[in-house]
Amino acid sequence: MTNSALATSHQESIKIGITVSLSGEYKSQGKSLLRGLEMWAKDLNSRGALLGSKVEIVHYDDQSDLQTSAQLYERLVTRDKVDFLVGPYASDLTLAASDVAEKHGIPMVSGTAAAEAIWERGYKNIFQVDLPAGRYMDDGLEIGKEVGVERVGILYRDSLFTREVAMGAKKLAEELGMEVVVFSGYSSNTQDFSSMVKDLKNQGAELVLGAAYLSDSIAIVKEAKRQNFSPRAIGFTSGPSLNAFGQTLGADAEGILGFTPWIRAVREPMAFDFDFRYRRLYNEAADSNAAGGYAAGEVLEAAVRLSKTQDRDAVRDQLRKMTFVSVVGRYRVDGSGKQNGKSMYIIQWQGGDRHLVLPERYAEKDSVLFVPWNDR
């Protein structure tokens, strides 16, 4: 359990509370989220103040557990007396944490959660920076349709976020006239993907989409190679956008697509500068979770500045109605707080690195078809 303070002792601070996964399954993503948020606070405090006050980040380790996260948000509100909240990593944790925000009437900005179920409960205090999960794979499917893909296979981890991604992909694929030949879920502790990959191969899936996390996506690629299964394209959420994906798979990562809400190559405000300064601070490249943490801080800052007050009702009103461009792109939400202004980006591993391939206006390189294992 950790408490990180960035405020000076001689000046009252604005407290921002968050739980992050510094241990457990999401510890890598949680660390990045916290670093991004703390970098924002450091930047803001170095510029001066927010309405005359320094910003202080108060955080605890939620251990990648939703009940622990919810309990610690209660502590942030009742014991630490934070002014505003930033949501944790992962949609299931955010679903639980937002119950606390709503109970106490404290605005919470989520930099990384995407599951639409979070915003379907009529809550007034949870605001989304990321893209809704059901739209994560839209561009990839539309491009697949344009190049003549007819048979799609979808694998998904049975969790809130990934399940919604998969359902959204299935719905759009069918609307586009493509046949979803495999639609298979698996539990978080699944390690053997042999039967699922065999099914994809037997059903002749041309486009394989995985609503998966890092470890799942790596395991699926390894199994595809073992079975010599070479569809026209393979794409995943989360995994391919992380350096660890390429570091683990090496040359086998070549041609794999990734769906990500942010990457340095995107020509959004400060993208390259953010990554450069993040590397200087933490000695590693920024990822979408770090950018999401920074963006959550930016959005809160904008709402407070536009409100010209720390009053929660005024800040909540600004969060609902304002339009703002953060490091991850446009922030614009509907009446529920769900994002409807942001774009999704598609990267591909080429030449041992991640390159932005879609949308075309931002692309560093053209996308290429997956090279069959036997031809490598």
Cα distance between residue 26 and residue 40, in whole Å: 21
What is the residue-averaged pLDDT of the chain? 94
Whole-model pTM above 0.85? yes
What percent of the chain stands above pLDDT 70? 96
Q: What is the pLDDT of residue 106?
A: 98
Strands 126-128 and 353-358, how do they pair?
A: unpaired
Asked whether the CA dihedral 238, 239, 240, 241 is positive or negative, the reply is positive
Q: What is the pLDDT of residue 362?
A: 83
Q: What is the pLDDT of residue 27?
A: 93
pLDDT tens profile 152-169: 999 999 999 999 999 999
Yes or no: say if 370 and 230 are a contact pair by the CB < 8 Å rule: yes
| For residue 266, pLDDT beyond 80 | no
Cα distance between residue 35 and residue 30, in whole Å: 9
pLDDT tens profile 23-46: 998 998 999 999 999 999 999 999
| For residue 69, pLDDT beyond 80 | yes
Q: Of 22, 43, 4, 16, whose CA–CA distance to 281 is shortest? A: 43
Q: What's the maximum distance between 2 C-alpha atoms anywhere in the chain?
A: 68
Question: Using 50, 70 and 90 to split pLDDT, how confident is the model at 268?
Answer: low
Average pLDDT over residues 344-371: 92
| For residue 9, pLDDT beyond 60 | no
Q: What is the pLDDT of residue 243?
A: 86
Secondary structure E strands in 212-351: 233-237, 257-260, 324-326, 329-331, 345-350
Average pLDDT over residues 183-205: 97
Tracing tokens 């942001």 back to the chain, one arrives at 342
Q: What is the pLDDT of residue 17?
A: 98
| For residue 3, pLDDT beyond 80 | no
Q: What is the pLDDT of residue 64?
A: 97
- Name the phi and psi angles at 6, rounded to 5: -115, 10
Cα distance between residue 376 and residue 371, in whole Å: 7
Average pLDDT over residues 47-76: 97
Q: Could you give the count of Cα atoms lying within 13 Å of 304 in the half-sphere of its Cβ?
A: 24
Cα distance between residue 308 and residue 242, in whole Å: 38
Q: Which run of H or of E encompasses 27?
A: helix 27-47
Yes or no: say if 320 and 299 are a contact pair by the CB < 8 Å rule: no
From edge to edge, which strands make up the β-sheet containing 54-61? 54-61, 13-20, 84-86, 108-110, 126-128
